[in-house]
Structures are given as C-alpha cells and as structure tokens.
Amino acid sequence: MLKYQQIASEIEKYIVDHNLQQGDKLPILETLTAQFAVSKSTITSALDLLERKGIVFQVRGSGIFVRRHKRKGYISLLSNQGFKKEMEESQPTSEVIELDVVKPTQEVMDNLNIGPEEDVYYVKRIQYINGETLCLEHSYYNKAIIPYLNKEIVSESIFHYIQEGLGLKVGFSDMYLQADKLNKEEAEYLGLEPSDPKFCLEVIFHLTNGQPFDYSKNIYNYKQSQFFIQAISHY
C-alpha cells in the first residue's frame, strides 16, 4: 500500500470513528498535513482517492466534505467503497453447494474471453445474512489464471486468496444488473416462490492487466437486498 493510500484509509477511519455525517466538513488541508505528518501532495492524493471512491467531495474554495448515505443495510455495488464496517456487522456467511472443474459454456467463454478447450472452476454458493438467504452465486474462474481452489478457500473469501495467496492484482469490473422472475431452482435455494422477483447481478472481474478471471452471476433475495452506489460526477 502506498503512503497516500494508507493516509486515505486513516482519513476514512477518522470519518467512521468520529461518526461524521454527509455534509460534515473535514479539517483544512494544512491541519490534515500537520495531523498526519506528511507532505501536502500526499494529502491531496489521498483526498483525490477518497473523492473517486465517493467518500468525500471537494468544493473549490470552500473545503472537503463527507459523503455518507443515511440508509442502513444497503450493499455497496462498488466493492471496497464506503464503510466496510457496516457490512461486517451483519456477518454474512456462505455455504458451498458445488465446486467443480468444468468446460465453459458459450456464455462463460464470451464473458471470460476464453475458448472451449479451457478449464474453469465453477463455484455455486449460497450467502446468508442475518440468518436469511441473501443470494445464490454461480461463479466461473479461469483455471489458467486461478490454477487451484478447494472447499476451504471457496467457503471463505476467494478474493482474499486471489490477492494474498496468489499475489494477483484485481483491477476493474463490469457489472450488469436487472430484475426478473425467479425460476423454480432459484426459488428453492432462496426460500422464495417461483416467479417472485429477483435482483440479478452479473460481474466480470479483471486483473489490472485487463484479463477477465472471474465471471459471477448472483441471484439476490429481493426481500434481503438493497444496493447503493455513491457515484462521482461525470458532468
């Protein structure tokens, strides 16, 4: 982690610890520079990072302000964005239904950018939150990039393993979202009725070099899932 990233984490922690709310003003640049004992350019880089992550907004000539939505229990769609603590408090757990090496379907080939002869790890899991089903996950990992997975790894955080265990650098992701009706199998896994609504989230994760390594299709229990995005300005 670079210095400015570390400072960004500390400012984020400061916001949480002081329970700052949306619109609350952060100390001025000079105060932050003195407080963290780093250069002005490091603080500026840290604040730019926090702005890109949707955690603060900067008003020219006026100061730096906190962004923090008021609603509880929403899942952030931009991973690692916002305040991890909130999610950790609800203690999600997961159950592995299936772990297999398979040949990719056309859909998996298209999304992972691979040919029919390649192998993929298929992981089917159910996630639980507050004792209720949160989602049914179907994940496909390119085996040429993720050469080994086992039940222990996939019942914990796969991303932790990919980053810490394999030393791979996770980059950007493409997400596709829509509402639809549950099919019979999905309804059974989620404890809902067939043709109840579902929130579908497909995510293709890429390494920082642009290679897609994980294609996941997540079917969320509509009664347990609400999502949020703190979008930055593109105007």
Cβ closest to a copy of itself, residue 23 vs residue 147: 23
CB of 59 to a copy of itself, least distance (A): 5
Closest Cα to residue 56, out of 98, 97, 14? 14
Torsion of CA 217, 188, 87, 204, to 10 degrees: 0
Q: How far apart are CA 115 and CA 119, in angstroms?
A: 9
CB of 1 to a copy of itself, least distance (A): 10
Angle at 205 between CA 201 and CA 208, to 5 degrees: 155
CB of 60 to a copy of itself, least distance (A): 8
Cβ closest to a copy of itself, residue 22 vs residue 130: 22
Alpha helices in 77-208 (DSSP H): 84-89, 106-112, 151-155, 158-160, 184-190
Beta-sheet pairing, 212-221 with 132-142: antiparallel
DSSP state of 161: I
Cβ closest to a copy of itself, residue 37 vs residue 60: 60
Name the residue with tokens 């019979």.
184
Q: Which residues bind a copy of itself (CB under 8 A)?
A: 22-23, 52-54, 57, 59, 62, 65, 67, 69-71, 74, 77-81, 110, 113, 163, 169-181, 196-199, 206, 208-210, 220, 222, 225-235
Q: What is the SS3 assignment for 17?
A: helix
CB of 146 to a copy of itself, least distance (A): 16
CB of 34 to a copy of itself, least distance (A): 25
